[in-house]
Amino acid sequence: MDNLETQSTRWSIRTAESIMQRMPRLYACNGLNGKWSYDYGVVLKGFEALWRHTGDNRYFRYIQQQMDHFVQEDGSIRGYTEDEYNIDHINNGKLLFALHAETGERKYRLAADRLRGQLERHPRTSEGAFWHKEIYPYQIWLDGLYMGAPFYLQYQLEYAGGEGLDDIIRQFILCERHTRDPETGLLFHAWDEKKVQPWCDPNTGLSPHFWGRSLGWFVMALVDVLEQLPGSHTDAPELRRILVDTLTALRRYQEADSGVWYQIVDCGSRKGNYLEASASSMIAYAIAKGIRLGVLDQTWQETLDRAFHGILDEFVLETQEGWINLNKNCQVAGLGGADKRDGTFAYYISEPIVTNDLKGLGAFLKFCAEYEWTLPEANRAKGVSARREGADSVGHV
């Protein structure tokens, strides 16, 4: 266990403390108004990592307080409706395993069972890949792999005797098969099996761009699954191959001066494109965890270190109160739906750019927790100091 002085200098600790002070009720923040939104799960998985690293039960209590707003004694989940068949709704369920293990409270297991039931009945493509949502039929989105696969795997390992793992791995194999661009090695944001969506190429079914955060979701999902997947599984080498190939493609687009990634990954010089915090944090998290798991060799350390310093320099600001702000987050992006989002370059760069979006904060917290606790002690707290700025820095950028 580190001494308090060392811990207090860590970006993971400082970010978590900032979140707890600003948002004691996380579920009521960022305009979500108590919805069962996947955003919470991103942040709270960062808190779970920090709790395990530090042994500080304040972090566990923060997780429990947020989740108890939703999880009822009978295992029902406030604001959750299974028959929406929304893969995003699975993400928060990742916290239920630790809550159940630590407290022994049955409601957490019952809630996990409820979410697993959705996956049992969730609609799929003809090859067996989960639809992103029922309102987005026959579509695979990269985002969905992070939302569903790690929960699905942990449930099968902890509550189902390790059966059915092939189905989880199939999700990644099918996703990469249908979304990978052979020229760049990058993955397109989404694919429509029916090739009828207004945003897709009518010949390939693919959306037109490589959106940074969607790639970030995908590689985070891969490392989180590889951490749990038994190494003896027949398809474990294939998942490792997908991770290495995808990150190798992304490394070619790491911006030379800053060390981070663009909103549209391969269009760095195009007018209107911008360096984006959530995608950069997610990709860096996957690299850090890939190194720790031994999937990436030590030649990746320089890439990782550049990303860490670049994220601090490019996106992190400190308020006069000592709180951490994460700037330049794309607030949200998707395809189709009521807003008829067309997946064009103009669409992706037109979405609001905000400070302290939960998806970005959560990814940054996860990254720092992963990076800082795997570095040699002398280097853990080292880094580029955040620029100080007044408290009024919170808001749109």
Give the catalytic positions in this structure: 143
Q: What does the alpha-carbon distance between residue 275 and residue 328 come to, in Å, rounded to a whole number?
A: 7
Q: What is the DSSP string of 331-343?
A: ----SBTTTTB--
Question: 10 Å Cβ neighbour count for 225?
Answer: 24
Q: What does the alpha-carbon distance between residue 39 and residue 369 come to, in Å, rounded to a whole number?
A: 18
- Produce one character per residue of 328-350: b if its CB has 16 or more CB atoms within 10 Å, e if not: bbbeebbbbeeeebbbebebbbe
Alpha helix segments (H runs only) across 69-185: 96-103, 106-121, 143-159, 165-179
**Which 3 state secondary structure label does DSSP give 230?**
coil
* Residue 56 CA: distances (Å) to CA of 61, 75, 350: 9, 27, 41
Closest CA to 10 of 394, 390, 373, 389: 373
* Residue 136 CA: distances (Å) to CA of 64, 327, 337: 32, 30, 8
CB 337 within 8 A of CB 136: yes
Closest CA to 286 of 274, 304, 299: 304
Report the first-to-last Cα separation within the chain, whole angstroms.
38
CB 313 within 8 A of CB 228: no
The position carrying tokens 């998290």 is 285
* Residue 193 CA: distances (Å) to CA of 159, 189, 274, 276: 32, 14, 31, 29
The position carrying tokens 């992190």 is 316
Rounded to 5°, the CA angle 152-156-162 comes to 140
The position carrying tokens 């007044």 is 390
